[in-house]
């Protein structure tokens, strides 16, 4: 689908690449020289401040590295493969210069690599936020929330989502209230700065307190997620966790028929509610498919599509966690065609909660449910603590939330390896 590209950042990247010409000298540290930066800031209209007067003092920028808007343009040109650094020179990549004549292809090249640009335009050193080192996950979490929402999203909600994601890898309990508040403020600041960059790219429109993906932004998200075009074949599959006592655990998902098995693995993890801690394999009755590890001797799941193995009515086995040994049956219920307004992969129905990780397989899960339901059991308190619950009723084996499953689907697919 052809979409009009209205992007300040695309035009800046094009102008910058043309300025590079046959090549430009860089500093010993591989940066744009300050003399060139002084010419580029007004040329590209980046809005960077080269010198600032405070009282009687004039503060001058001593390195182009501090001109963050300019650095974003430079790193975008590198990310799109238009220029590259060789020695102490910045030179054009001739094979990719055709992108300059195709704004839409250039836009998609920039959007799909946006998650790699955080270090280019976010503050480093004193006042650095948690978003800068965790920009891949933080930016994609924000995009996932925008993509999963019809209409605008409060910037406060986006900031909260980003904070939850980027702070997760760190132990922050030992920080003082002031230190924690400072980290939160700088992370919110950089989240808003990232949203501003996405607006300059034309992927987002910003209101006073909200953000919304543009049509171009939604198209870019579909590209990142590998969603099918309208009319492409899609499969409806029922994924059932086998040998579960009591209420069956299952999910019904709609996926591209041509989905590679490595992406189907991520879909199953997210739809079911697993946390992708352990190894897995697919089995079509004869051949094992999994990660390309020589010791496992599986066929590379990245090179096999779902419709290569099964048609409607066919079944596939998926095993997760070789210790707990969770077997899932994948039944292809029907094949239909993707629609222009559909989202794929998508969970459309389900039942019951996913068992906790490392619970001990089907037998361990049955025992956990029994103990949770018996406050007088000698191990009751230990099981509640192991689950990290304040109250045993917080874990409901019958609970399934469709919206949460679809949120995990989008986030899980965005975080898949090599995304």
Sorted by where each begins, the domain ranges of the chain are 8-222, 233-353+398-414
Q: Indicate the pLDDT class of residue 194, thresholds 50, 70 and 90.
A: very high
Looking at domain 233-353+398-414, does it have CATH number 3.40.50.11440?
no
Give pLDDT, residue 416.
42
Please check the confidence at residue 154 and state whether its pLDDT lies above 60: yes
For 236-289, write each residue's pLDDT tens digit.
Answer: 999 999 999 889 999 999 999 999 999 999 999 999 999 998 999 999 988 999
Give pLDDT, residue 54.
66
Q: Indicate the pLDDT class of residue 418, thresholds 50, 70 and 90.
A: very low
Please check the confidence at residue 363 and state whether its pLDDT lies above 90: yes
Give pLDDT, residue 2.
53
Give pLDDT, residue 412.
61
Give pLDDT, residue 58.
60
The whole-chain average pLDDT of the chain stands at 91
The three-state (H, E, C) secondary structure of the chain, written as one string? CCCCCCCHHHHHHHHHHHHHCCCEEECCCCCECHHHHHHHHHHHCCCCCCEEEECCEEEECCCHHHCHHHHHHHHHHHHCCCEEEECCEEEECHHHHHHHHCHHHHHHHHHCCHHHCHHHHCCCCCCCCCCCCCHHHHHHHHHHHHHCCCCCEEHHHHHHHHHHHHHCCCCCCCCCHHHHHHHHHHHHHHHHHHHHHHHHHCCEEECCCEEEECHHHHHHHHHHHCCCCCCCEEEEEEEEECCCCCCCEEEEEEEECCCEHHHHHHHHHHHHCCCCCCCEEEECCCCEEECCCCCCCCEEHHHCEHHHHCCCCCEEEEEECCCCCEEEEEEEEEEEECCCCCCCCEEEEEECCCCCCCCCHHHHHHHHHHHHCCCCCCCHHHHHHHHCCCCHHHCCCCCCCHHHHHHHHHHHHHCCCCC
Q: Indicate the pLDDT class of residue 13, thresholds 50, 70 and 90.
A: very high
**Mean pLDDT, residues 190-199:** 97
For 308-340, write each residue's pLDDT tens digit.
Answer: 999 999 999 999 999 999 999 999 999 999 997
Is the pTM higher than 0.85? The answer reads no
Give pLDDT, residue 265.
95
Give pLDDT, residue 50.
83
For 371-383, write each residue's pLDDT tens digit.
Answer: 999 999 999 999 9
For 103-113, write each residue's pLDDT tens digit.
Answer: 999 999 999 99
């Amino acid at each position: 689908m052809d979409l009009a590209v209205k992007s300040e950042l695309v035009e800046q990247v094009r102008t910058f690449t043309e300025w590079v010409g046959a090549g430009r000298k860089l500093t010993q540290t591989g940066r744009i020289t300050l003399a060139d930066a002084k010419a580029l800031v007004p040329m590209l209209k980046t809005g960077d401040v080269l010198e600032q007067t405070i009282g009687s003092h004039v503060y001058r920028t001593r390195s182009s590295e501090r001109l963050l808007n300019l650095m974003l343009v430079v790193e975008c040109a590198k990310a799109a493969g238009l220029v590259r650094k060789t020695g102490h020179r910045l030179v054009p990549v001739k094979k990719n210069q055709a992108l300059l004549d195709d704004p839409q292809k250039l836009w998609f090249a920039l959007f799909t690599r946006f998650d790699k640009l955080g270090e280019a335009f976010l503050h480093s050193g004193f006042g650095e936020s948690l978003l800068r080192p965790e920009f891949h996950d933080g930016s994609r979490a924000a995009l996932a929330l925008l993509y999963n929402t019809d209409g605008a999203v409060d910037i406060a909600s986006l900031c909260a989502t980003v904070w939850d994601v980027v702070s997760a890898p760190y132990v922050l309990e030992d920080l003082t209230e002031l230190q924690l508040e400072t980290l939160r403020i700088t992370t919110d600041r950089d989240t808003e700065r990232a949203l501003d960059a996405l607006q300059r790219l034309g992927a987002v429109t910003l209101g006073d307190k909200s953000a919304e993906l543009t049509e171009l932004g939604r198209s870019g998200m579909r590209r990142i997620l590998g969603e099918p075009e309208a009319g492409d074949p899609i499969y409806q599959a029922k994924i059932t966790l086998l040998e579960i006592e009591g209420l069956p655990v299952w999910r019904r998902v709609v996926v591209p028929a041509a989905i590679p098995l490595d992406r189907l693995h991520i879909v199953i993890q997210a739809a079911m509610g697993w946390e992708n801690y352990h190894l897995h394999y697919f089995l079509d009755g004869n051949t094992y498919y999994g990660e390309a590890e020589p010791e496992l001797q599986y066929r590379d799941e990245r090179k096999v599509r779902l419709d290569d193995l099964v048609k409607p009515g066919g079944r596939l086995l998926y095993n997760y966690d070789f210790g707990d040994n969770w077997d899932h049956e994948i039944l292809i219920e029907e094949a239909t065609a993707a629609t222009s307004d559909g989202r794929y992969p998508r969970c459309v129905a389900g039942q019951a909660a996913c068992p906790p990780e490392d619970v001990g397989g089907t037998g361990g899960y049955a025992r956990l449910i029994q103990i949770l339901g018996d406050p007088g059991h000698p191990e009751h308190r230990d099981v509640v603590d192991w689950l990290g619950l304040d109250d045993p009723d917080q874990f409901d084996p019958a609970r399934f939330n469709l919206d949460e499953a679809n949120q995990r689907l989008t986030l899980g697919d965005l975080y898949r390896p090599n995304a």
